[in-house]
Structure formats: C-alpha cells, structure tokens
C-alpha cells in the first residue's frame, strides 16, 4: 500500500470517488441538485500550491483519497491559517481498515510542513459513523451549523 500526492493522471479515478462522496452525502442533504453534480474542480486542486490531494494506492489502483486546503482563519482565532480537510473517500470494500486514518496522517504531515497546526472539517450531524471515525483520530465537535428553508413562509 502506498500513499502519495495525486497527479493529473489520477483524475478519472478521483472523479469516480467524487461521485461516491456525493452518493454517500445525498441522504443527509435534501438541498443537493439532482445528478449529475460535481463538488470539486479536481484539476485545480491537484495543481494548487495551497492544497494537497493524497491517494492510497494498492496494486496500482487508487482505493482512497482526501485533501487538505490551507485557508485563512477568522481574524479572532489564535491561529492564522488552518487546513480544511475534504474529499475523504475510501472504496467500500476497504472501509474499516484504517485508510481514512492514514490519509489524515499524510495530510497532517503535509499541513505541518506548510507551517499549519490546526485542521478543520465538516461532517453531516446525522453521519454518526463518520463522526466516530474523525473522533478516533482526534477531531472534536465544536460548532453546529444550522439552516432553515424559508421559501414556503
């Protein structure tokens, strides 16, 4: 098993994973448009200096991925920048084997090399298994974002 930075040659596999993320998140978000939709500009993320996409490769096939993107912190925070994690995906047959943890470890190392010491991510409140997985690697809940559809009022 090998963890490495994604390249442009990985785009097709990453597009499949992106649809896997969308499919997994669709039950938690009724505001998503009907398919086909895309979340990410993958080409831009791969070449961006402030972003690192990593992939897990097994027998020359990509089986997991995730990214960290450096963002400016709120002006009142006691840190200037943080790495925002996203695009966390593990192929179904490889789930439960610690791959998400390994992706986060790789993204943590990259973030530290960039001088960033804080990480953030978003997870749907109803996605209990994802919340548990992130808590296992050290993330803590700190804020709940709320919304309300007022179109029928």
| Structural domain count, the chain | 1
Residue 103 lies in a domain: yes
Domain that holds residue 103: 2-122
Per-residue pLDDT, 96: 92
Residue 45 lies in a domain: yes
Residue 71 lies in a domain: yes
Residue 65 lies in a domain: yes
**Cα(first)–Cα(last) distance of the chain, in Å?**
53
Q: Phi first, then psi: give them for residue 67, nearest 5 degrees.
A: -135, 160
Dmax over Cα atoms in the chain, in whole Å?
55
Rounded mean pLDDT, 51-55 = 98
Helix (H, G, I), strand (E, B) or coil at 81: strand
**Segment holding 12, helix H or strand E:** helix 11-25
Residue 131 lies in a domain: no
- 19-49 pLDDT per residue, tens: 999 999 999 999 999 999 999 999 999 999 9
- 71-110 pLDDT per residue, tens: 999 999 999 999 999 999 999 999 999 999 999 999 999 9
Quote the CA–CA distance of 31 and 71 in Å, as a whole number: 25
Rounded mean pLDDT, 39-60 = 97
Mean confidence (pLDDT) of the chain: 96
Domain at 109, CATH number: 3.40.630.30
pTM: 0.94
């Amino acid at each position: 098993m090998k963890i490495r930075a994604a390249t442009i040659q990985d785009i097709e596999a990453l597009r499949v994973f992106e649809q896997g993320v969308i499919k997994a998140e669709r039950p938690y978000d009724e505001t998503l448009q009907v398919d086909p939709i895309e979340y990410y500009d993958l080409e831009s993320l791969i070449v961006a200096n402030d972003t690192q996409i990593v992939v897990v490769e097994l027998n020359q096939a990509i089986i997991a991925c995730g990214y960290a993107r450096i963002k400016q912190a709120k002006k009142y925070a006691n840190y200037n920048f943080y790495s925002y994690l996203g695009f966390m995906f593990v192929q179904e047959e490889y789930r439960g084997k610690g791959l998400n943890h390994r992706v986060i470890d790789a993204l943590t190392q990259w973030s530290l090399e960039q001088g960033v010491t804080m990480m953030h991510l978003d997870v749907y409140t109803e996605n209990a298994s994802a919340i548990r997985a992130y808590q296992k690697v050290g993330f803590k809940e700190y804020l709940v974002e709320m919304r309300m559809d007022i179109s029928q009022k």
